[in-house]
Chains A and B, each alone.
Chain A
């Protein structure tokens, strides 16, 4: 909840300073959203669900992992490696904040 000390000089309709850019990116937002409603999803599940490529998914998943928004476990199913992702508490909070942020944006334009 710690709000960075951004200047309050911006017009009230602009909530940009609070925006979490980490999950603002489309695919990363998709990963977090999909994991929010599943205990865990494999790399293959996510790829199919978000309709993206291996490379793209792994790049963005790694970004989220570095921020500790998601946790990754690698296991072996027979000889095939299986990567599973879960949403962390920090990731869930980030998504909630993001949703609140979007709501605020909509409310602000409605009131303007």
Chain B
């Protein structure tokens, strides 16, 4: 990596939230001239995004390094070197073997149309659409990562379905990583490993879900590594999902981790309230059920952890309404979800939030309740107050009471301050996201 660009990278990594940095800055390659820093984006999508959102910041960082003569930044589409090294001759492309491996068909209901977009997943969706329209050329591999039940699998199926719409004869294989492993073990047992290799290496697009389950399975990793290389060499699309960023997967070979990062790693975050409500309305509509907005709002407000749980709650309301023949109203939904909500309230309460925040910042709960105003205590306290407002149904005065009898205006101020810090301070945003994740699961 060029020295000027590596300086910039270090600086930008500190200033941008990790998700944005990993998605947009890391994929850029640099060619450094005496008065020019040429940045190569893998495709038009990244180019446009960087131009719109980050070019000013990059230029400021470059200018800050004080080079003489001044260095200008140029952004274009391109690649310094082919990303895949030819470690083996690609096998000749033959017809797909008649024996179907464990490949499962795509779920036709998981489409881009049925995917509810919000702030938390719009990048991942945009990248997925790109991939389905430029198979093997936009981002390869596309690596979608994030917590459980946030829509990764939906996006993956949507990519497959969209590719098939454009080319009904495309050979798309979706499978769970665990299935890849068991197919391989099967093939080894039945001396059919060559057919296995041939099968997976000749698909047009390979979609593998939850690749964190490759961890610790060395033989499968080895096989997947070669399959992966072959597909990329031949410009066939690979899409992977995982519960975390490639570098953070334990028990996975370094060369695989680094290769997974070659294309575009893009995160899905837990949906915000508006998105949760939109998801509920959309799911209810798909089920042919008339869901009053206030009910969707109530369920969305109470079930915050992930989309699967949200759908589970909606399923419960609909099933109960069908069984009793009653109309779905706010009171009815409260009754149908009484057990679930009581459980959530037991799991997430102000005391629990205070304890979690104190542990996270390595301070004492007593500090949060004290009158201390130094920043190392005040920040966590503000964060804990804002989380209490977000995750419980207590009023501002009640939350003030929980924090050593503070006034409701103090809590209000804390919520506003936290909102500002989330916008401007990437480290703070990361802390906030981590705590949300810990508390919601």
Same complex: no
